[in-house]
């Protein structure tokens, strides 16, 4: 293979580690499934929040999360699909950073498949009558924002959105050792990835 080929293979091992970690977060085997997602707000400023990773697909280079269809993040990605996501594991001291484009999934089969995987208490989150982030008046009698529709599965489903991020680049940063290790991977053409090593 030669020295250069060995170097490339070593770099691509880190790409595998990235997706292994993302999959473990999505399937619940990792300590946490939380990632921080940044979108471009309606004012053009960054908007940051935590979402729960639900799926990671290396072959398609996508990750997915769910949210309320009425949330500001849905409006953000519909206006401007550019997003960035980051995760840091305190125990391993590894950071993963992703950059890509997000889209609300319209394919009904994919939406149904994810919905069926959700736990009952997660589905119940979509019973919230009011949209996320709406200003509540202290005298409204609904200070916590909870107004249940009761047995209204269709309304819950209609409020649910599945969002998929097509990953264009991924970074691995390991600061656990004396020598910190940082690699970046760029998806020039699916399924081809280009690997580079960066200064930490």
Average pLDDT over residues 131-155: 66
In this predicted model, what pLDDT tens digit does every residue of 50-59 receive, in sequence order? 999 999 999 9
Contact call for residues 102 and 165 (beta carbons, < 8 A): yes
In this predicted model, what pLDDT tens digit does every residue of 22-73 receive, in sequence order? 999 999 999 999 999 999 999 999 999 999 999 999 999 999 999 999 999 9
Contact call for residues 47 and 27 (beta carbons, < 8 A): no
* DSSP, res 180: -
Q: How far apart are CA 60 and CA 106, in angstroms?
A: 17
In 3D space, the residue among 85, 113, 115, 100 whose CA is nearest the CA of residue 25 turns out to be: 85
pLDDT at residue 142 is higher than 90: no
CATH of domain 2-105+163-197: 2.30.110.10
Q: How far apart are CA 54 and CA 33, in angstroms?
A: 8
């Amino acid at each position: 293979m030669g020295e250069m080929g060995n170097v490339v293979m070593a770099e691509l091992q880190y790409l595998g580690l990235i997706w292994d970690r993302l999959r473990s977060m999505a399937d619940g085997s990792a300590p946490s499934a939380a990632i921080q997602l940044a979108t471009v707000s309606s004012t053009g400023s960054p908007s940051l929040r935590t979402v729960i990773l639900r799926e990671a697909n290396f072959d398609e280079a996508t990750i997915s999360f769910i949210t309320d269809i009425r949330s500001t993040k849905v409006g953000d990605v519909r206006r401007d699909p550019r997003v960035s996501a980051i995760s840091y594991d305190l125990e391993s001291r590894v950071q993963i950073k992703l950059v890509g484009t997000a889209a609300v999934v319209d394919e009904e089969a994919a939406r149904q498949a994810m919905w069926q995987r959700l736990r009952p208490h997660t589905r119940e989150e979509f019973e919230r009558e009011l949209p996320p982030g709406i200003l509540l008046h202290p005298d409204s009698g609904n200070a916590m924002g909870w107004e249940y529709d009761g047995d209204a599965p269709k309304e819950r489903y209609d409020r649910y959105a599945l969002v998929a991020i097509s990953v264009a680049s991924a970074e691995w940063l390991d600061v656990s050792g004396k020598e910190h290790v940082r690699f970046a991977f760029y998806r020039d053409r699916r399924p081809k990835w280009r690997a580079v090593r960066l200064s930490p």
